[in-house]
Amino acid sequence: MNTLPHAARIPPDMLSEIADRVGTPAYVYDARALEAGIGRWIGPVGDPARISFAAKANTNLAVLSVLERAGIGIEVATPGELGRARAAGFPADRIVFGGVPKSREAIREGIHGGVGLIVLQSGHEVAAAIEHACESPGGELAAGLRVRPGIRAGAHPSLETGRADAKFGLAPEEVPAVWRQLAAAECVVPRTLAFHLGSGLEQIDPYEQALDLMLSLVHSLSDADAPVLELDVGGGLGVDYASESDPDPAALVRLLESRITGIPVKLRFEPGRSVVARAGVLLTRVLYRRERNGSPALVCDAGYTDFARNALYGAEHAIVPVHGELSGDPNVEVLGPTCESGDRLGTGRRLHGVRPGDLLVLRDAGAYGFVMASNYNSRPRPPELLVRGDAWRVVRPRESLEDLWRGEVAS
């Protein structure tokens, strides 16, 4: 069992009971681990309002409301995430509409929803925000600009977002003119410069490099009508899925705070994965065993439609039997049931003692797990459950077959 305080600790007998009563596959989150996960950030940052949990990592309402009760804010990428944040109890002024590509309609919805900050990342977003700013409920729109710092941060190529060729944000040299344009616009108060380097980062030096670039922009805008008040350093701090030690948010916060000593800006953090990844597991049952290329493979009832990270990024999460031990050579593949050969949960595992019907738990599945599930092969998405101490409850039921074709019309 993982002993990190922010890792789910769900007793095997409870997992068996859940499998019997709710079925498999199922996502199970541990409320205390979620609290510990956000606590790792609140401790060093101090003011919880300067943390905006990146909703994209896990948008289950029960998970969000556990985090909301810690007093933090939330970063949303779409009107859908904005709606979920509100439904989970986040007040509008604690919501950051983040710097990912947004349609004109999405920007208007965010403004009408009264978000506390909107981060703009292209000329068309800036134009839309200026057009609608006076419609914001308070009559004033707090705005930020996402900068593309041009830094390689060492993440999986699909998860690196701060490179010079990334599709996100403005190049540093574009920023001063756009900032001044916002400062001159009616009802707009530019406040924040933001960056997000990528997801799953193991090193903290790239943040320091990016922050230094932001500080040079702060300096060049010191004579603007609106000074830069806040630097949003995005999310991205990784989880070491192969071990039980993670990069420490406190080290990152200390490093970045030390760089802004004496400069009148505040920092904002948007962690997602590092808060919730360890707090959830995916429970699955083995359907059958087969030999492939002389090695055993376990075909499970969960597949890449439920948990996409191995198929998408080659991510290898710990997979352990709920009852029983790891044994034998590390050569067992764990596969999903769908019609794709690439449908895998893990490779090279010591799962020789596992038999059809046994339960497996895929650990550290609380981030980018359920949120990336699909209905491919018309598979209903799994249920989500929340455990607190010795009690558990379903916080999103398994989809029914009728859910799959709701709203469709047979012609």
Binding site for ligand PLP (CB under 6 A): 54, 56-57, 75, 98-100, 196, 199, 234-237, 270-274
E strand spans, 195-234: 230-232
Q: What is the nearest approach in angstroms of ligand PLP to the Cβ of residue 145?
A: 13
SS3 for 329-341, per residue? CCCEEEECCCCCC
Contact (CB, 8 A) for 325 and 270: no
The beta-strand segments (E) located in 200-276 are: 230-232, 266-268
Long-range contacts at 391-395 (CB < 8 A, ≥ 24 apart): 392/14, 392/18, 392/28, 394/22, 395/29, 395/60, 395/61, 395/62, 395/63
Selecting among 134, 187, 300, 339, the annotated active-site residue is 339
Contact between 280 and 272 under an 8 Å Cβ cutoff? The reply is no
Query: Does an H or E element contain 107, and which?
Result: helix 104-112
**What letter represents residue 276's amino acid?**
V
In the bound state with ligand PLP, the residue whose beta carbon lies nearer, of 119 and 322, is: 119
Question: Distance between CA 31 and CA 392 in Å, rounded?
Answer: 10
Question: Quick one: 75 or 358, whose CB is closer to ligand PLP?
Answer: 75
Neighbours of 374 (CB within 10 A): 12
Q: Specify the residue, 157 or 407, whose C-beta has the smaller distance to ligand PLP.
A: 157
CB of 271 to ligand PLP, least distance (A): 5
User: How far is the CA of 14 from the CAs of 22, 74, 290, 325, in angstroms?
Assistant: 12, 31, 29, 18
From the CB of 328, what's the least distance to ligand PLP, in Å?
Answer: 34
- To the query of whether residue 187 is one of the catalytic residues in this protein, the response is no
* Nearest to ligand PLP of 119, 359 (CB atom): 119
Which tokens belong to 332?
């067992």
Say which amino acid occupies 243: S
Nearer to ligand PLP, 24 or 122 (CB): 122
Q: Shortest approach of ligand PLP to residue 304 CB, angstroms?
A: 20
Active site residues: 339
